[in-house]
Structure 1
């Protein structure tokens, strides 16, 4: 039985649902070239880098469609920005951060995205001060599903893997937490809920459905 001392949260799709907007933006851009971007295909790059599937390059390198790379990229980013204008912090996240802080838990963030991206949205949401450590793509040689991001965050917080819970939304993120030896809970978003997760992880629709206290009791009672 372990006593939980820390929470480490993923960012994209977990704290803020940037993932659905990305998928929709890419899907719309692909349809302009009469190509269907399936979730199975796009899901390979969620929560990790684009080394397995690069949605910016696929039409050019694999399908040989003559596109201007920069204008295609800019078009996708413009669509994403428009879609994100109406997106807010996911349900239950703020309650978890507040409760964790009140309980004296250490709080970290581990994201496969770049630091400037994470910082921009944390500032917009006004929640950056909750995190004692933030580890992003620039800090590691390999992002999720490799465990290095979580391993660094655990080291920063001074806790052992079995003393921390990761909060994730994607299969790649869940694999990283498991590989780091952590407890974890999956909170899928409208895109990642259709993806296949390893094993049978504890899953909730949103964190508003499960209090942090109840989660802690469930983990610590094992």
Structure 2
């Protein structure tokens, strides 16, 4: 499954790194700081607020500015929406540098695949600036498996016109490596990535992630395999290796 493919493609957020909750944590801390502790909401409440705003405003360049304007009115925040948005960005960069880490076992999986001679790539909907932060300033990631040492290509939201489930990111990876879809395998935690890979003709495996629990059955149906953890993926790679060397 892994060792008979030339290229292994990973999603980033939720798959390799534990980052899906960080944006809710940013908004939690932003509200707490701007109100001197008067407003304290749960991570789930913060996530619901953000997702509702994105559904309302889309994900254009001004969506988050409108979201901050709503937050200002809702919670009586000081400053203009632009000032609040700037503070949110600075806080987010702090969190991306210090709080985001690999999911347990992920570095061992990357190292095992590299030892096996596999080409590794990332197809992500995160921004290039966040990749730069992870690559240059996040010591949690740098100390275990620096992106520059393990990934031959990273395709971000900024590199495509259409994000997952559109197959554009996967097509870029295929073109870059002059690869056929059956030479690749996608590792994902969420359905849009699975569907995008499938549209490009690429098989996928799923790693369980708490934010995707409600879609577990659908994910299982659309993937070659479903793994509960990176430790389970590593075990599968080691079992394949044993078979190859018998």
Q: C-alpha offsets along residues 104-123 of structure 1, whole Å, 9 cap, x if unaligned? A: 21111111122231132133
Higher RCO structure, 1 or 2 (CA under 8 Å, sep 6+): 1
Cα separation, 1, equivalents of 2:81 and 2:40: 14
Gaps of 5+ in 2: 33-38, 242-246
Comparing 127-136 with 57-66, which one deviates more in the overlay? 57-66
Matched residue SS, 2:17: coil
Classify 1:72/1:135 alpha carbon distance in 2 versus 1 (closer, same or farther; 3 Å): same
Counterpart Cα distance in 1 of 2:72 and 2:199? 35
Per the alignment, residue 237 of structure 2 pairs with: 213
The corresponding residue for 1:18 is 19
What is the TM-score normalised by the length of structure 1?
Answer: 0.74
In the alignment, the residues of structure 2 paired with residue 215 and residue 26 of structure 1 have an alpha-carbon distance, to the nearest angstrom, of 43
SS, match of residue 122 in structure 2: strand
Residues 34, 18 of structure 1: alpha-carbon distance in 2 compared, 3 angstrom cutoff = closer
Identify the residue that residue 104 of structure 1 maps to in structure 2: 117
Residue pair 1:165, 1:183 contacting (<8 A) in 2 also: yes
Q: Distance in 1 between matches of 2:73 and 2:28?
A: 18
Give the secondary structure class of the aligned counterpart of 1:166: strand
Instruction: Decide which structure has greater helix share.
Output: 2
| Aligned residue number for residue 186 of structure 1 | 206
TM-aligned CA deviation for residue 169 of structure 1: 2.4
CA displacement 1:152-173 (0-9 Å, x = unmatched): 1122122222221111223322
Could you tell me which residue of structure 1 aligns to residue 244 of structure 2?
A: none
Aligned length: 211
Match in the other structure for 2:133: 120
1:101-140 alpha-carbon deviations (Å, 9 max, x no partner): 2222111111112223113213332232211112112221
Superposition pairs of residues 143-154 of structure 1, within 5 angstroms: 143-154=163-174
Distance 2:105 2:219 in 1: 25
Greater Cα radius of gyration, structure 1 or 2: 2
Shift in Å at residue 204 of structure 1?
Answer: 2.5
Residue of structure 1 equivalent to 2:6: 5
Deviates more, 1:205-214 or 1:3-12: 205-214
1:196 aligns with 2:220: no
Aligned residue for 1:213, secondary structure, equals helix
- What is the match of residue 84 of structure 2? 72
| 8 Å Cα contact 2:191-2:219 kept in structure 1 | no
Structure 2 CA distance for partners of 1:117 and 1:206, relative to 1, 3 Å: same
Q: Which residue of 2 aligns with 1:57?
A: 66
TM-score, normalising length from structure 2? 0.68
> In structure 2, do the counterparts of structure 1 residues 82 and 111 end up closer, same or farther at CA, with 3 Å as the change threshold?
closer
CA RMSD of aligned residues (A): 3.7
Structure 2 match to 1:155: 175
